[in-house]
């Protein structure tokens, strides 16, 4: 049986261990431009088997929070290029998480104060984060407008274009499609947010259509071996709801199977919260079985609240890879600490979102 410290092939990448840094929004990219401090932060964590960047907007319309990075302008791509170079120089591997927030946005973050876009004109009871004159505050998300059917090929193209730029201009080793946590692709998947009457709403096949078009376009562009996906079947994050997730997600992974993805990344339970939800049971083993039965060979990555011990147990079961969020945030040398069963730094919630080096690049590594 493998341990966290055994190497593994994941698509085109050879990982030296099975410990992944989960995507973590940190709101430290003013004007959506990645910074030198971000390069230091990611390079400090380069001993991870794989680094997944914080969610990164694929267009101006895809932005939903102040100071999250983008991947659509030259300055943004140049900023990321310095980050990927720093990670590679430190011996690491890094993929970028491609993000469109859909309705989880605010008119103040949209070009010309337009409404955010969504599958349907249904607002989310959720908060976003704005910065005005240097002062940050939480604000309710704005009422969205429904995307018209003829706009959807443009959304697919935007993902394709971002994936191409991620590889050829920004120097990433791959991309992760963010289809989780109540953002655009999850909004299309789940019937609480998708009341469409065209080919992109109603049946499971229709609700999964946009996601599958996006992933097919990306894999055509950069290859499945450079592509991963993140799904959260039951999370209530961002006011998202689906009464019958099991058949929906089994359909999704069966359709993903032929695309030869590098990995499938599953958030178990409520994002950053309870792993088991009594009102939303879900059989993750059956999900993986559906993927494998359909010929899916991608690595199976699990996430949510793992520590070293529960991660080792997961590797004895369904998992090939385990993604750690808060523990990696607070422990740049998490791999070494888990191997040595050393004490861990405690994450400081007050500095998760926004700010400077404090609670970002100043968590100490153990001296070795
Ligand atoms: C925390 C704050 C803002 C965004 C996600 C991208 O949940 C996020 C996110 C997390 O996927």
Residue whose Cα lies nearest atom 2 of ligand 1: it is 25
Answer whether 129 contacts ligand 1 (Cβ < 6 A): no
Question: Do the beta carbons of residue 322 and residue 307 sit within 8 Å?
Answer: no
Answer whether 163 contacts ligand 1 (Cβ < 6 A): no
Q: Could you read off the pLDDT of 179-212 as tens digits, one per residue?
A: 999 999 999 999 999 999 999 999 999 999 999 9
Residue whose Cα lies nearest atom 11 of ligand 1: it is 181
Tell me the C-alpha to C-alpha distance, in Å, between residue 326 and each of 25, 165, 332. Answer: 11, 29, 11
Question: Do the beta carbons of residue 179 and residue 185 sit within 8 Å?
Answer: yes
CA atoms within 13 A of residue 354's CA, in its CB half-sphere: 14
The ligand 1 atom at the shortest distance from the C-alpha of residue 55 is: 6
Q: Say what the alpha-carbon torsion angle 158, 160, 164, 166 is, to the nearest 10 degrees.
A: 60
Which of 55, 102, 136, 325, when mutated, tests ligand 1's pocket best, judged by the most ligand atoms within 8 Å of its CB? 55
Phi, psi of 357 (to 5 degrees): -70, -30
Answer whether 44 contacts ligand 1 (Cβ < 6 A): no
Residue whose Cα lies nearest atom 4 of ligand 1: it is 25
Answer whether 271 contacts ligand 1 (Cβ < 6 A): yes
Structural domains in the chain, CATH included, are 8-351 (3.20.20.70)
pLDDT at residue 368, rounded to an integer: 67
Q: Which residues are catalytic?
A: 183
Please tell me the distance from the alpha carbon of residue 100 to that of residue 185, in angstroms, as a whole number.
Answer: 8
Low-confidence ranges of the chain (pLDDT < 70): 368
Answer whether 304 contacts ligand 1 (Cβ < 6 A): no
Tell me the C-alpha to C-alpha distance, in Å, between residue 299 and each of 87, 183, 236. Answer: 22, 23, 25
pLDDT at residue 133, rounded to an integer: 86
Residue whose Cα lies nearest atom 5 of ligand 1: it is 181
Please tell me the distance from the alpha carbon of residue 259 to that of residue 144, in angstroms, as a whole number.
Answer: 32
Please tell me the distance from the alpha carbon of residue 327 to that of residue 346, in angstroms, as a whole number.
Answer: 8
**C-alpha 237 – ligand 1 centre gap (Å):** 9
Q: Which two tokens stand for residue 210?
A: 């946009």
pLDDT at residue 51, rounded to an integer: 99
Please tell me the distance from the alpha carbon of residue 100 to that of residue 92, in angstroms, as a whole number.
Answer: 26
CB atoms under 10 Å from CB of 341, counted, come to 9
Answer whether 181 contacts ligand 1 (Cβ < 6 A): yes
- 138 — alpha (psi -120 to 50), left (phi > 0) or beta? beta
């Amino acid at each position: 049986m493998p341990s966290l410290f055994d190497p593994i092939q994941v698509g085109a990448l050879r990982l030296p261990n099975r410990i992944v840094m989960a995507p973590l929004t940190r709101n430290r990219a003013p004007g959506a431009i990645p910074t030198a401090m971000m390069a230091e932060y990611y390079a400090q964590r380069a001993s991870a088997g794989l680094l997944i960047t914080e969610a990164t907007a694929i267009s101006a319309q895809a932005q939903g929070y102040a100071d999250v990075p983008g991947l659509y302008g030259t300055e943004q791509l140049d900023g990321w290029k310095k980050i990927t170079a720093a990670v590679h120089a430190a011996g690491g591997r890094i993929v970028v998480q491609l993000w469109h927030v859909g309705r989880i946005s605010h008119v103040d973050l949209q070009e010309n104060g337009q409404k955010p876009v969504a599958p349907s004109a249904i607002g989310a009871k959720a908060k976003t984060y704005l910065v005005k004159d240097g002062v940050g505050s939480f604000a309710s998300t704005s009422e969205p407008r429904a995307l018209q059917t003829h706009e959807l090929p443009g959304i697919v193209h935007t993902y394709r274009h971002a994936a191409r730029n991620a590889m050829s201009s920004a120097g990433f080793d791959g991309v992760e499609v963010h289809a989780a946590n109540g953002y655009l692709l999850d909004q299309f998947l789940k019937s609480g947010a998708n009341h469409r009457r065209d080919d992109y709403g109603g049946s499971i096949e229709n609700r999964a259509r946009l996601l599958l078009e996006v992933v097919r376009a990306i894999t055509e562009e950069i290859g499945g071996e450079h592509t991963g996906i993140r799904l959260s079947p039951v999370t209530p994050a961002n006011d998202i709801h689906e009464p019958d997730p099991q058949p929906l997600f089994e359909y999704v992974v069966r359709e993903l199977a032929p695309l030869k993805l590098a990995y499938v990344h599953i958030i178990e339970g409520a994002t950053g919260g309870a792993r088991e939800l009594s009102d939303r049971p879900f059989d993750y083993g059956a999900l993986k079985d559906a993927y494998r039965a359909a010929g899916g060979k991608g690595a199976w990555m699990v996430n949510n609240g793992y520590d070293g011990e529960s991660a080792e147990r997961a590797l004895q079961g369904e998992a090939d890879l385990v993604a750690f969020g808060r523990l990696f945030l607070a422990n740049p040398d998490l791999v070494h600490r888990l191997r040595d069963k050393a004490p861990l730094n405690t994450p400081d919630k007050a500095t998760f979102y926004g700010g400077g080096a404090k609670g970002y690049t100043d968590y100490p590594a153990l001296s070795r």
